[in-house]
Chain A
Amino acid sequence: AQSVTQLGSHVSVSEGALVLLRCNYSSSVPPYLFWYVQYPNQGLQLLLKYTSAATLVKGINGFEAEFKKSETSFHLTKPSAHMSDAAEYFCAVSISGKLIFGTGTRLQVFP
């Protein structure tokens, strides 16, 4: 069965530092993968998605993710963290149209 695993429920970085949020997928077929962000008391907002067109996917707010089949990974990165990036981030895989989410990673950004 297809699924995603997010390593690290909490990640803390200093403002200006690299952000790396990890996501590994399990799938026997090429997956459709998503990263969503959830700000406090808000719904989910799409950051980016992988649909096999390109392995390096650029999203909103300076985030990007690279699909690596050999590592079954789809890690989310941002070169320089901003205070406004503090939120919860969810990796998800699409199965028959419905989204199966990882457990989420809460990102804290310190000044």
Chain B
Amino acid sequence: GAGVSQSPSNKVTEKGKDVELRCDPISGHTALYWYRQSLGQGLEFLIYFQGNSAPDKSGLPSDRFSAERTGGSVSTLTIQRTQQEDSAVYLCASSPRMGTGGVEQFFGPGTRLTVL
């Protein structure tokens, strides 16, 4: 079956512009996660959704970052007024349910964001 998909695969933007990154989770997966992978910070958790609500936004680095999920499916991560330090690969993952333990997360291929 189809895996997690993300779009665009690459995004180049100018400093100060807003960007939107999209994630389509595996059909039927109720939990959705966003992570960021950068050279300086490694792999960092940003936010997760259970259904359409986001119980944990603790990883969002600033108020320029926001995310929403509609219909319990597609999610959009928005970065306003992008800065060069936002350059990274943004990874989305989904899982069949939100668990406190060993539930596997399935990752998408990521969106590589470059802020000039």
A50 to B107, CA, bound (A): 18
A41 to B112, CA, bound (A): 9
Closest-by-CB residue of B relative to A31 is B101
Closest-by-CB residue of A relative to B50 is A97
Q: Are A43 and B102 within 8 A (Cβ)?
A: no
Q: Pick the contact of A99: B4, B105, B109, B110 (CB < 8 A).
A: B105
- In this complex, how many residues of chain B approach chain A with their Cβ under 8 Å: the count is 26
Bin chain A's interface residue count: 20 to 34
Q: Are A45 and B107 within 8 A (Cβ)?
A: yes
Of A18-26, A69-77, A100-108, the one touching chain B: A100-108
Closest-by-CB residue of A relative to B9 is A41
Residue with the greatest number of chain B CB neighbours at <10 A, chosen from A43, A49, A92: A43
Chain B residues close to A by CB (< 8 Å)? 4, 31, 33, 35, 42-45, 48, 56, 59, 91, 93, 98-110
Q: Are B45 and A50 within 8 A (Cβ)?
A: no
Name 11 interchain pairs, CB-CB below 8 A, sorted by A. Answer: A43-B91, A46-B105, A49-B102, A94-B103, A96-B56, A97-B48, A97-B98, A97-B100, A97-B103, A99-B33, A99-B45
